[in-house]
């Protein structure tokens, strides 16, 4: 079931095209990665979906309705954060939930549970300004979902967090996913978020570069590299075009379309002692760079 549908969206700032004919869908219950470098158009896209900006062309629906209608079902962690610094942590959360139509007792209960889950329960009656930066960011995160929305937009939720807080927030997001929430995760730190995402839209200069299930994208763009630990590598392995010794193991490069499974089978068939065998994972960032630089070469070719 589709939660968000964006069709041929265009958004300009003056003459500058920030979002350039972008189309994608977000399905119920998935973690959808809206990825791309700074300035790619991620925040602009989210602001249109959140009804903060009006599109110049194209259409957007949220839970089947125009943006801005389903407010109680949508949560948003904006890139620029803001809480009432002089108000207590709990009062901030209750206030925000009440704004979205939750009753005070329900809001308190929900806020208490979330504070525990993000490990801030001891800070409920402290003022926001007394919290550390990392704590304030975690608080901001739960503030965006205190009204228990069905779909949550997190714009750069890891920005400025230290590694410990990154792990906490990742764990929290994974927990929301397990609960069945739909999450749109925007980030320029592809390598940090890719493990969380079911499907992604990778954008560059407002345009879609890659779109689809992450596993499929990885499969399509696999560099076909294997790292194997054996005594030696026979010269006639199927599909192997390059062998490079590396720290007691070997890195094998495969021809396009060659199968790592066949290489393994060939080694085993020859009774070789395979101590380890791994197909190298490609970081999404490398795929992005490869695709974008390929496109730019094409552009140059036309010029
Ligand atoms: P991202 O979230 O991917 O970093 P943004 O959507 O914030 O990207 O920005 C996309 C592009 O639009 C950037 O080049 C940015 O400088 C530009 N931009 C964003 N907001 C405005 C604005 N209010 N006026 C003019 N240009 C803007």
pLDDT digits (tens, 9 = 90+) for 42-72: 999 999 999 999 999 999 999 999 999 988 8
189 Cα to the center of ligand 1, angstroms: 17
Boundary-marking domain end, from 218, 237, 271:
218
Range of the domain at 239: 223-279
The minimum-distance atom of ligand 1 relative to the CA of 37 is: 3
Q: In CATH, what number is assigned to the domain containing residue 236?
A: 3.30.70.100
Look up residue 287 and give its two tokens: 């795929």
> Lowest-pLDDT range, 101-115, 179-193, 208-222?
208-222
The more confidently predicted of residues 116 and 224 is: 116
Give the pLDDT band of residue 300 (cuts 50, 70, 90): low
CATH of the domain at 80: 3.40.50.300
Identify whether residues 235 and 144 lie together within a single domain.
no
The answer to whether the CB of 43 is under 6 A from ligand 1 is yes
Task: Compute, in angstroms, the gap from residue 41 CA to the centroid of ligand 1.
Answer: 6
Statement to judge: residues 195 and 252 lie in one domain: no
- The arithmetic mean of pLDDT across residues 179-195, rounded, is 93
Q: Of 216, 252, 184, 180, nearest to 47 (Cα)?
A: 184
* Closest protein CA for atom 21 of ligand 1: 13
Same domain, 167 and 257: no
Both 246 and 200 in one domain: the answer is no
Residue 67 corresponds to which tokens in the numbers above?
Answer: 């943006």
Treating both helix axes as pointing N-terminal to C-terminal, what angle do 104-117 and 89-99 enclose, rounded to 10 degrees? 130
Statement: residue 303 has pLDDT above 50: no
Same domain, residue pair 210 and 258: no
Q: Please tell me if the CB atom of residue 187 comes closer than 6 angstroms to any atom of ligand 1.
A: no
Region 3-18: mean pLDDT is: 97
| Pair (73, 125) in one structural domain | yes
Are both 255 and 210 inside the same structural domain?
no
* Secondary structure (H, E, C), 78-134: CCCCCCCCCCEHHHHHHHHHHHCCCCHHHHHHHHHHHHHHCCCHHHCCCEHHHCCHH
Report pTM: 0.84
Task: Using the 3D structure, point to which of 172, 199, 218 is the last residue of a domain.
Answer: 218
132 and 23 share one domain: yes
**Residue 41 CB–ligand 1 contact under 6 Å:** yes
CB-ligand 1 contact for 189 (6 Å cutoff): no
- Is the C-beta atom of 42 inside 6 A of ligand 1? yes
Residue 208 located in a structural domain: yes
Beta carbons within 8 Å of 26's beta carbon, 6+ residues apart: 2, 3, 4, 5, 32, 151, 182, 184
Contact indicator for 50, 67 with CB cutoff of 8 Å: yes
Q: What is the pLDDT of residue 148?
A: 94
Query: Same domain for 186 and 110?
Result: yes
| Distance from residue 18's CA to the centre of ligand 1 (Å) | 6
Q: Please indicate, yes or no, whether residues 130 and 273 belong to a single structural domain of this protein.
A: no
Closest Cα to residue 154, out of 3, 33, 70?
33
Ligand 1 close to Cβ of residue 53 (< 6 A):
no
Q: What integer pLDDT is reported at residue 279 of this predicted model?
A: 85
Which pLDDT tens digit goes with each residue over 103-156?
999 999 999 999 999 999 999 999 999 999 889 999 999 999 999 999 999 999
Among 218, 238, 270, which residue terminates a domain? 218
Q: Looking at the domain assignment, is residue 93 inside a domain? A: yes
The answer to whether the CB of 18 is under 6 A from ligand 1 is: yes
Residue 137 Cα to ligand 1 middle (Å)? 22
Examine residue 260 and state whether it is found in any structural domain, yes or no. yes
Give CA–CA dist 40/98, Å, rounded: 34
Number of domains within the chain: 2
Confirm or reject: Cβ of 39 under 6 Å from ligand 1: yes
Looking at the structure, tell me whether residues 235 and 209 fall in a common domain. no
Asked if residue 291 belongs to a domain, the reply is no
| Residues 133, 55 share a domain | yes
Answer yes or no: is the C-beta of 44 below 6 A from any ligand 1 atom.
yes
Which atom, in ligand 1's list, is nearest to the CA of 38? 4
User: Of the ranges 189-193, 233-237, 278-282, which one carries the lowest mean pLDDT score?
Assistant: 278-282
Strand 199-204 to 31-35 pairing: parallel
Q: Which of 13, 38, 53, 76 to mutate to test the pocket of ligand 1 (most atoms within 8 A of CB)?
A: 13
Instruction: Name the pLDDT band for 301 (thresholds 50, 70, 90).
Output: low
Domain annotation covers residue 247 = yes
297 domain-assigned: no
Ligand 1 neighbour 31 (Cβ under 6 A): no
Would you say residue 290 lies in a domain?
A: no
Q: Is residue 286 part of a domain?
A: no
13 lines ligand 1 (CB under 6 A): yes
What span, in angstroms and rounded, lies between the C-alpha atoms of 151 and 19? 22
Nearest residue to 205 via CA among 49, 12, 57: 12
């Amino acid at each position: 079931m589709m939660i968000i549908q964006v069709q041929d969206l265009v958004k300009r700032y003056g003459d500058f095209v920030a979002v350039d004919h972008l189309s994608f869908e977000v399905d119920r219950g998935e973690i959808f990665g809206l990825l791309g470098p700074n300035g790619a158009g991620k925040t602009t896209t989210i602001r249109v979906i959140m009804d903060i900006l009006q599109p110049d062309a194209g259409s957007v629906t949220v839970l089947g309705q125009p943006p801005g209608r389903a407010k109680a079902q949508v949560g948003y962690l904006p890139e620029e954060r803001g809480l009432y610094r002089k108000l207590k942590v709990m009062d901030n959360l209750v206030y925000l939930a009440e704004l979205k139509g939750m009753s005070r007792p329900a809001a308190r209960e929900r806020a208490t549970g979330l504070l525990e889950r993000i490990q801030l329960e001891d800070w409920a009656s402290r003022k926001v300004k007394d919290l550390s930066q990392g704590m304030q960011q975690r608080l901001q995160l739960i503030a965006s979902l205190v009204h228990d929305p069905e779909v949550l937009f997190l714009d750069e939720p890891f920005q400025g967090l230290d590694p410990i807080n990154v792990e906490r927030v990742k764990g929290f997001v994974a927990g929301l996913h397990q609960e069945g929430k739909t999450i749109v995760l925007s980030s320029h730190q592809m390598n940090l978020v890719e493990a969380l995402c079911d499907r992604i839209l990778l954008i560059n200069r407002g345009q879609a570069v890659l779109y689809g299930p992450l596993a499929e994208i990885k499969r399509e763009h696999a560099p076909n590299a294997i790292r194997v630990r054996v005594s030696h590598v026979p010269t006639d392995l199927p599909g192997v075009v390059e062998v490079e010794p590396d720290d007691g193991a070997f890195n094998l490069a495969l021809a396009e379309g060659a199968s790592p499974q066949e290489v393994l089978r060939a080694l085993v068939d020859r009774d070789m002692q395979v101590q380890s065998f791994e197909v190298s994972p490609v970081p999404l960032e490398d795929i992005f760079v490869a695709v974008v630089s390929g496109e730019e070469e094409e552009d140059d070719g036309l010029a």
